[in-house]
Every structure is written in structure tokens, then in C-alpha cells.
Structure 1
Amino acid sequence: MDCNKTKFRLAASIKNLMGEMSLDKIIVKDIVAGCGLTRQTFYRNFRDKYDLVNWYFEKLVQQSFEEMGVSLTLREGLTKKFQFIREEKVFFTCAFGSSDYNSLVKYDYEYILKFYRNILQEKFNKPLEEDVEFLLQMYCQGSIQMTVDWVKTGMKFEPEKMADLLIQALPKKLNSLLYFLEM
């Protein structure tokens, strides 16, 4: 069986379970039972259930981030991310509810920090200055927390509004460095 098909089957199974219970209570046995696969197959593809959740998250948002600064502006890429999150409301509500050391909150932070860091390092062809790194870490932490709050409180703002608010929250220095993403 194709590796990606297997991974998506496992993701579909965990998504179904997330509609019934918290992520921290789901066990691998339940995941594989829900899709007719074996524990061995699960562990050939993922370290644990959090690895599966993080993989699925990456598949959902990867395209919007890869297109950011190429065919999508920063606003368009963020809007697309929030649309994915809204479309997968049950998944994200459950995933963001986990406080495990390997949680989606931590993974999302690392993912977007790496994304922005790489864009800036490629643009300026050098490592980030300490103050820019600090601002970037602070901004990414804040944007993830606001995303989690948005999900947990019922996603009251439209995805476009969330994108606008996150862009408005960019520290001045970061905003000027990332301005090219808005063109």
C-alpha cells in the first residue's frame, strides 16, 4: 500500500476518534482499529499519535506556506491556513487541547518559526541578528497562542480577519523585514 494512503487512513481514523474524545485519551489500538491497519503499520509511519497529528497538520498547511511570497501574499497564506483550520474544526479543537510535550501547539510554533527564519535568512543571505530572532520567537509564540484561543473560543473571527490581526501584530522591525511577502 502507498505510504501516503496509509498515513491518510490513519489520519482519518484519529480525526473520527477526536470527535468522540480528547487526543490525550486516544490510544494507538483505537486508531488502527478504526482503519483496519496494524500497530506495526502505525509505528512504521509514526512515532506516536502526536507525530500523526503533526504530520496531518503539516499536510493541511504546507501548500499555503510554500506559496507564501511566491504566488500568495502573507495575508493570503495566513487566510488559507485559517480556512484549513476552520474546515477541520473538530481536528484542531481536539489537537490544540492537548498539553503533551509533543503537542500540535509546540509543533506549529516550531514549524512557523522555521518557516519565517528560513525566509529571512534566504532574503538577507545571513543568520538572523539576535534582536530579530527574539522578535520572531515572540511573534510566533503569540500568533500560535492567538490561533489556539481562536479555535477554542469557536472561531468567531473570519479567517481573513485573523490574518489581518496577525499581520497588524507583527513587531515594526519584523514587519519591515517581511514586507516583501505582501507584494
Structure 2
Amino acid sequence: MKVQDKTRFKLAKSMKELMKSKPLDKITVTDIVENCDVSRQSFYRLFQDKYDLVNWYFEVLAQQSFKQMGVLYTLKEGLMKKFQFIEQEYVFFAQAFASQDNNSLIHYDFECIYNFYKNLIETKNKAPLTSELSFLLEMYCHGSVSMTMEWIATDRKQAIETIVDLLIEALPDKLKEQLKELL
């Protein structure tokens, strides 16, 4: 593993430790770097701000789960892996999704999943999304992020398989048709 990656993970670990006792929006970069003995300069060489760190850590999840759909996993398998990762890192994701900052994970998760599905569909069709498909996809992705936040906020009352099945069931028929190879 590269030195930069080790430092990124060290900073993420520090952030996760701090989140056990403090909301994300109250944690400062100074708190993060002092907690893990990394310089502010090193932090800012790697990240723009603490939300960039959160989004980077989420990207680690994305690469291991839903971004593998169509490559290693079906839609259900990718979503299962995503929710299992969220459950393993519950405190981190509960805090990250609770943040209302403009750079928060809420916005990053939406952009990430929207662009992932958009690219899959455009590659399959060899054409840009129609305005109708774009609308349906945007609506679905907002709903998916919202329900993920709800699942976390209600302390994961539904089993992972249940929430994943419901997210797949909620796909509009025209999107299901576009993503049928993943189902």
C-alpha cells in the first residue's frame, strides 16, 4: 500500500474514532490530525476538507460494492455488499449521513450512484440518457439515498436483505428494463 493511502486510512480511522463522541459537523481538521499525529499539511495534501475525507472513505465502499455491479456482482449482490459495509462502519455512516453540509455524504452518494447507473445505461444504449430516463433515474437515486438514510436513522430495523429487495422493487419499470442484465 502506498504511503499516501496509509495516511488516508489513518485519517479515516481518526475521524471514525472521533465520531463515536462528536457529530461530524463539530469535528475539526485539527481534531482529526491531532488524534492520529498527522500534520495539517499532510491532511490538506490529500483532502480539501473533512467532508472530502468522508467521501473518499465512501468511495472505498463504492469500489468494493455497487461499482462492481455488472462486473463481479448482480444488482442485489452489490447492494448487499454496500449495506453490509455500512453496517460494519455504522457509527461512521450514521454520522456522515446526519451531516447537512453542502459537501456531505448525502450529495456525494447521490452523485455516485446516479453517475454509475447513468454510465451503465448510456454504455448499453450507446447514447445519452433520454430526458425521461434521466428524470426516473434521478428520482430513484434520491429515493434510494433517502431510504438508506432512513434505514440508518432507524437503527437498521429492517434486515439488509429486506432493504435491498425493497430498493430493487422500487426501481421504475423503465429503469428495470435498462438494468435487466444486472437483476
Count of residue correspondences: 182
SS at match of 1:24: helix
Say whether 1:93 aligns with 2:94. yes
Residue equivalent to 2:128? 127
Unpaired segments of 5 or more residues in structure 1?
A: none
Query: Separation in 2 of the partners of 1:67 and 1:114?
Result: 14
* TM-aligned CA deviation for residue 164 of structure 1: 0.4
Q: Deviations over 1:35-68 (max 9, x none)?
A: 1011000000000000000000110221212321
In the alignment, is residue 110 of structure 1 matched against residue 111 of structure 2? yes
SS at match of 1:163: helix
CA positional deviation for 1:171: 0.6
4+ residue runs over 4 A deviation: none
TM-score, structure 2 length as denominator?
A: 0.97
Which residue of 2 is the match for residue 27 of structure 1? 28
Equivalent residues in 2 for 1:18-167, closer than 5 Å:
18-167=19-168
Kept in 2, the 8 Å contact 1:61–1:84? The answer is no
Q: Distance in 1 between matches of 2:68 and 2:31?
A: 36
| Percent identity of paired positions between Structure 1 and Structure 2 | 55
Q: Secondary structure of 2:182's match?
A: helix
Indicate conservation of the 8 Å contact 1:61/1:81, yes or no. yes
CA contact (8 A) 1:80 1:159 kept: no
For the residues of structure 2 that align with 1:97 and 1:64, how far apart are their CA atoms?
22
Q: Which amino acid aligns with 1:97?
A: A
Aligned counterpart, 1:177: 178
Matched residues in 1 for 2:138 and 2:62: separation?
Answer: 20
Q: Which has the higher contact order (CA 8 A, sep 6+)?
A: 1
The answer to whether the Cα contact below 8 Å between 2:64 and 2:81 also exists between their aligned partners in 1 is no
Q: Distance in 2 between matches of 1:29 and 1:151?
A: 28
Gaps of 5+ in 2: none
SS of the residue 2:45 aligns to:
helix
For the aligned residue pairs, the C-alpha RMSD in angstroms reads 0.9
SS in structure 2 opposite 1:71? Answer: coil
* Partners of 2:10 and 2:36 within 8 A in 1: yes
Q: Report the residue type matching 2:153 in the other structure.
A: K
